[in-house]
Amino acid sequence: MGCAGSTSHERQFFLSKVELFKRLPEEELPELAKSAVEVSYLKGQVIIEENTPGEKLFVIKRGSAGVEINNRRVATLQAGEYFGESALLRNEQCTATITAASSMKALMITREDFMNLGLHTKLELVDKLGKRGAVGGGAVANAEIKEPSSKTPAERELIAKALQENANLSTIATLDTDRVNAIVDVMWKEEVPIGKPIIKEGDLQADYFYVVQSGSFQVSKAETASSDQATPALGLLEAGSSFGELALLYFAPRAATITATADAVVWVTARQQFKDLLMKANERETQENLKHVSKCDCFNPLTEPEKKELAAAMHEMTFVKGELVFEQGERGTQFFLLVEGEVSVIKDGKEVTTLKATGYFGELALERDEPRAATIKVISQSAKMLWVDKESFEILIGSLEDLKKRGRDGTGAVKKLQVAPSAGDTKRFGNIRFKDLKVLGLLGCGGFGAVFLVEDLGNGETYALKNLSKGYVVTSGMQNSVISEKNVQLMCDSPFVVKLYETFNSAETLHLLLELALGGELYATYNKKNLWGQEPCAKFYIAGTVLAFEHLHSKKIIFRDLKPENLLLNEQGHVKLTDMGLAKVCPGKTFTTCGTPDYFAPELIASKGHNLAVDWWTLGILTFELCAGHPPFESTTPMQIYAKVQKGIHKILFPKKLKGNIESLVKGLCHAVPSERLAMKKGGTQNIKKQPWFTGFSWDEMAKFTLTPPYKPHVKNKKDIANFSAKKEDMPPQVDYKDPKTGWDKDFATSE
């Protein structure tokens, strides 16, 4: 390693490429450039070693560097690219080994220098590009799927090798030989002439994954306007390479442009094919559960499809020797099926029998709310149960009592439990007229539209009016999710969830009239008031979220998009969960990968099917983020986040101030196995409430809204929007609406 000089202008040019530095005020760049040291490496020299503490950022000026994870080359970085960015902000282990692939020159900045200059305090925390948006959800997959092309053994081998060597693919799925073969089977061949972009950055048609058979492709990414190089090259992809794997996970605009630099042949597969393949594993699990369900005579009245639906929806729970599954006299709504281990059935203190797989108990709970007739105690080393509760059972299949009355052939009406507005809510609607609403200001902007502060001129009350552009909803295929957002919102009635008062349907726009929370977004408040790391605040907001989730989960609603951006404060500082855009009524499992990458649970990334347990994972991430100032798996790209998530929370270095109670709460929530997360285990949310971190915390007062909030926002009156900083320029562009005449929006309005 050696040092040499370079002009300040040249240094600033290279540093301006680093994503992190785009968040610095421009006037800080010269100082930063001065602190950069120019370093040189010989081909083969190791620059950074995997799993060692990272302390430096490098921006390549000349030459290239290889990135290796577990001794596997995963990428090559070229001039203008950089590595070690997160090392500038915190003490983290390096996740890859970086070696000079040729003789190489780079600019290096150490964390010590960065901190000494005070630059970590000058970073703009939310900029337009850096705002964490949700991904996935709703969009209808209508991508064309072609017939598989025939393949020679050599071609099959090339594709299989490419799949196995794609590190990102191994992050999102375990690719054993059977799965690799299944993917190879369905792929079709396409020819790409020289000069043609096969993928365009920002493209919304992002449904395919490619393996290069022959020819080559250039990867490029548009730069910000300040750069004099409009589309810098990021790398070359040749025969045996593969790309586009993020599209296998969810719908998201393409992140780069990929252009053929020679006539090329590629193999193609679509997201839907990949998802279908991963779902087959779930199908095997369902068949296994079905065998057990079929052995329970209490389910004899169910038809075969109903049994299968039940089998697919059952949750797993494990117990250890001596644990009580439930106690005589206790009330409960769960039915249990024993699939591994042995239990003792105890009545009035005496064992009456023992049960092994597939024994079942608690069946009366599916019919009546009666005290348990016996105690069930685990007597084997461990025991595994499948369970379902009365509410899920009735949403999925109907009441067991009605099922018993109908004929064995499955005919005769059985009413499923309707997911309906909360009791007493009918009075809540039809009171406010759209024409009486006057827009007073802008509160926020989202993908589909904006949220405005409005006044009801009839009585002077103020509300938040969320507008959804029908044009945008239809072009992005989100009709069902918008209707679901409204229905889910209608079902909610909790002081910890923003209330819906009315919905309106106008020519170009759908409107949701919502409870107003003028204290602002929790994320903005944390940044403005620097509340990061303040434990009393984190405890209060986490507790509020627990109570919000308790309410949603009691109605079988998964929220799926927890983050500080989706928590609002009211004038007093009470916390309210908002934005049901990704929420879903789900008594069993669901398969759409969606949410915000920093908050993705591992089962969501693996497309294994997920349930309410994903929300408890996100609560763990939120706890970490509020206390540490950044989410635990934070990385520059979504794929890097997913790779860290799959390695698990145990690989994360917890900052000193989180050691102990916060660490154990986060680890209890972010368990890799969904059924092992606190709140998914016996005891439910009590397992969170009783955590040592909450010792002395009054959950009763919290639930009654009588606990004094730790931070009181400054709100002058019910029209004061000073805590919001949305700008008109951030409003999404208008998308023209052509009514598809399907009647998709006919039930949207509660009143005119």
Taking CB under 6 A as the rule, which mask of x and - marks residues 452-471 in contact with ligand ADE?
A: ------------x-------
Residues 6+ apart with CB under 8 A from 532: 526, 626, 627, 628, 629
Q: Which of residues 219-278 bind ligand ADE (CB under 6 A)?
A: none
Q: List the Cα angle 687/693/694 in 5-degree steps.
A: 65
Is residue 122 within 8 A of residue 92, CB to CB? The reply is no
* Tokens representing residue 66 in the block: 């290889």
568 binds ligand ADE (CB under 6 A): yes
Residues 76-105 that bind ligand ADE (CB under 6 A): none
CB atoms closer than 10 angstroms to residue 534: 16
Residue whose CB is less far from ligand ADE, 578 or 607: 578
| Among 54, 421, 444, 588, contact with ligand ADE (rule: CB under 6 A) | 444
- Tell me: does residue 184 bind ligand ADE (CB under 6 A): no
Chain position whose Cβ is nearest to ligand ADE: 464
For residue 442, state whether it binds ligand ADE (rule: CB under 6 A).
no
Does 466 carry a binding-site annotation?
yes
Residue carrying the six token digits 């509300």 = 463
The alpha carbon dihedral of 666, 669, 670, 676 has a sign of positive
CB of 714 to ligand ADE, least distance (A): 15
The whole-angstrom separation of Cα 681 and Cα 674 is: 10
CB of 242 to ligand ADE, least distance (A): 41
- Determine how β-strand 342-347 pairs with β-strand 350-356: antiparallel
Q: Phi and psi dihedrals of 41, rounded to 5?
A: -130, 150
Write down the least CB distance from residue 492 to ligand ADE, Å: 12
Residue 677 near residue 628 (C-beta atoms within 8 A): no
Q: What is the DSSP letter of 436?
A: G
Choice between 388 and 715, CB closer to ligand ADE: 715
CA atoms 408, 411, 413, 414: torsion sign: positive
Contact positions with ligand ADE (CB under 6 A) in 362-401:
none
Q: How far is the CB of 525 from ligand ADE (least distance, A)?
A: 12
Q: Parallel, antiparallel, or unpaired for β 315-320 and 324-326?
A: unpaired
Nearer residue to ligand ADE within complex by CB, 308 or 560: 560
- Site residues for ligand ADE, 578-617, by CB under 6 A, read 578
- Residue 100 or 498 having the CB closest to ligand ADE: 498
Write the CA distances from 154 to 269, 499, 555, integer angstroms: 19, 60, 54
Minimum CB separation from ligand ADE for residue 378, in Å? 46
Q: What DSSP line would sit under 551-599, residue for residue?
A: HHHHTTEE----SGGGEEE-TT--EEE---TT-EE-SS-B---EE-GGG
Residue 314 or residue 500: which is nearer to ligand ADE going by CB? 500
CA–CA gap between residue 561 and residue 582 (Å, rounded): 7
Minimum CB separation of residue 128 from ligand ADE in Å reads: 17
Number of helices (H), then strands (E), belonging to the chain: the values are 20, 34
When the beta carbons of 362 and 519 are compared against ligand ADE, the nearer one is: 519
Among 94, 106, 451, 669, binds ligand ADE (CB under 6 A): 451
Of the pair 484, 611, the CB lying nearest ligand ADE is at 484
> Is the separation of the CB atoms in 282 and 308 below 8 Å?
no
- Residue 105 vs 718, nearer CB to ligand ADE: 718
- CA contacts within 13 A on the Cβ side of 549: 28
Binding mask 293-312 for ligand ADE (x = CB under 6 A): --------------------
**Does residue 691 contact residue 685 with C-beta atoms inside 8 Å?**
no
- Say if strands 135-136 and 500-505 run parallel, antiparallel, or are unpaired: unpaired
Place of tokens 């290069």: 212
The pattern of x and - marking residues 21 through 60 that bind ligand ADE according to CB under 6 A reads: ----------------------------------------
Least distance from ligand ADE to the Cβ atom of residue 465, Å: 9
Number of residues that bind ligand ADE (CB under 6 A): 11
Smallest separation, CB 730 to ligand ADE (Å): 13
Toward ligand ADE, which CB reaches closer, 234 or 443? 443
Please identify which of the residues 113, 207, 456, 561 carries the catalytic annotation: 561
What residues pair up with 238 in beta bridges, in sequence order? 216
Q: Is 720 a catalytic residue?
A: no
Q: How far apart are CA 63 and CA 200, in angstroms?
A: 27
Q: Within 295-407, where are the H helices?
A: 304-313, 390-396, 400-405
Among 355, 443, 569, 679, binds ligand ADE (CB under 6 A): 443
CB 523, min distance to ligand ADE, A: 12
Binding segment toward ligand ADE, per CB under 6 A, in 217-225, 239-247, 443-451, 692-700: 443-451
State which of positions 503-532 bind ligand ADE (CB under 6 A): 514-517
SS3 of residue 350 by DSSP: strand
x/- contact string, 469-498, with ligand ADE (CB under 6 A)?
-----------------------------x
Measure the CA–CA gap between 257 and 478, rounded to whole angstroms.
Answer: 26
Binding residues for ATP, by number, are 466
Instruction: Report, as residue numbers or ranges, the catalytic residues.
Output: 561
Binding residues, by number, are 466
Summarize as ranges the residues that interact with ligand ADE (CB under 6 A). 443-444, 451, 464, 498, 514-517, 568, 578
